[in-house]
Amino acid sequence: MQTPPTTLFDFHGRPGIARALPISLQHVLAMIAGVITPPLIVAGVVGATPAEKLQLIQVAVLASGVCTLFHLYGVWKFGARLPAIFGVGFAYVPTLIAVGAQYGIEGILGAQLIGGITMMVVGYFIQFIRHLFPPVVAGTVVLVIGLSLYDIAIRYMAGSGNVNAEGFGDLVNWGLGVLTLVTVLVASQFGRGVVKLSAIIIGMLVGYLVAIPLGMIDFSPVNNAPWLAVPELMPFEMEFHSAAIISMVVICVINSVQTIGDLSATSVAGMNRELATKELTGGLLGNGLTTTLSTFFGALPTSTYSQNVGIVAITKVISRSVFMLAGVIVLLAGLSPKFGALMTTIPYPVIGGATITVFGMITVTGIQLLIKDEMTARNMTIVGLSLALSLGITSVPSAIEQFPETVKDVVTGAPIVIAAISAFLLNLLLPRKTLAQEAQEREEEARQTNLDRQSTEEG
């Protein structure tokens, strides 16, 4: 029997824990802010009690650890079996906010159940429909996701998700939020190694420590939380609303496209090969399955983590043992309500100051996707019109007051849905032309214009 290699640069390599742990911790630090922030935001939107807020965070962390381990090893046709980190995804946040504001956590989980099943269907047929989601479509949606998150970060930096909250806009809140933001920028732009990769966590830590003497943190939830607890089945009821389901299905399909990009980047940058169809199908089927199962425990939908893909691209470390160790660390943290309770004490300005850079990066990622396609007049029309419709309509909800209730419920507060539908339809309907073809058309039009002018002058 052949002995497994001990290298960090082989998927089946088994390096010693002393070599694997530092890189595993890098992955944990890079992902953890992304894991805890969505449930914190959703808890504020749905008006969750402190106990429910703690539960949402704990199960989100636990689900992220389980999801990562599941994809590393896989079960039957489910699981990517690639060096990737999975967890509760940021891309869903705008849709979760829109659904949660109307239907609460029950509406979110009911829609998520259908969305997860939809992801599995997409995963099964992806090899046949992949061409329907080129970079111009996926990039437009990701761009809108980033743009639609900015107001959340600003409200949090001002002190709360609710503009009517007491103390909203106080200079103390802004000072703490800006301090956190500056710390993140310094660590990310001037730091090296672990400091650079952990910039968001470092910024949150500095902001948190400064908030303690300001009296902005209440440690009673941490003192009252037990050290160990297993999440309960069905902590929340599920409700099924057509508008919420449509919104969630759309974002789940779009997120599948983002997952394709992240898994492709992992295989190309880390393993020097193209993504295999089996890995692609397994990744989407597995993500759909974990999203579906997560609903029964109150965890939010899962996705790949692009920041961890970046670590793979930089370090070239692809050992499954490294990612397994990261998954186990996150899993153990998810089993401890103490950890979840500690996360609930983070002040809003700290969360806002730390995440506004993340939202900015999501926007830039959308732009990077867009420029993978030629910026023809056709593609610019798709992007420009989708942005105008999605952001314009959601900014003026009274403009669609006469529309059917179902349409209003789907569209209001969810620009991603409008962007996805418009970009998808325009990509199907508008004639495809390259830059060279458009240039040739202009030359022919100019030539014909000259001929017409000459004929007129001769006549």
Interatomic CA distance for residues 9 and 27, integer angstroms: 16
pLDDT (0 to 100) of residue 1: 47
CB-CB contact of 122 with 129 (8 Å): yes
User: Residue 347 region, left (φ>0) first, then alpha (ψ -120 to 50), else beta?
Assistant: beta
What are the φ/ψ torsions at residue 303 (nearest 5 degrees)? -160, 170
CB-CB contact of 88 with 300 (8 Å): yes
What is the full per-residue pLDDT of the chain (459 aa) written as tens digits? 456 677 888 888 888 887 888 778 778 876 777 788 889 889 988 888 888 888 898 899 999 999 999 999 999 989 999 998 898 887 788 889 888 988 999 999 999 999 999 999 988 887 777 778 788 887 887 788 778 778 878 888 888 766 677 888 889 999 999 999 999 889 888 887 667 766 777 888 899 999 999 888 888 888 887 888 888 888 899 999 988 898 888 888 877 877 877 787 788 777 888 778 888 899 999 999 999 999 999 999 998 887 677 677 767 888 899 899 999 989 988 898 888 788 778 888 988 888 787 777 777 777 877 887 788 888 899 999 999 988 888 788 788 888 877 777 666 666 777 888 888 899 999 888 777 887 787 888 888 878 778 777 765
pLDDT (0 to 100) of residue 239: 93
Interatomic CA distance for residues 140 and 303, integer angstroms: 18
User: Residue 169 region, left (φ>0) first, then alpha (ψ -120 to 50), else beta?
Assistant: left
pTM, rounded to two decimals = 0.75
pLDDT (0 to 100) of residue 44: 85
How far CA 264 is from CA of 92, 339, 372, in Å, comes to: 21, 33, 14
Query: Measured in Å, how far apart are the chain's first and last C-alpha atoms?
Result: 91
Interatomic CA distance for residues 455 and 177, integer angstroms: 69
3-state secondary structure of 92: helix
pLDDT (0 to 100) of residue 124: 87
pLDDT (0 to 100) of residue 314: 66
Structure tokens at 202: 């470092």
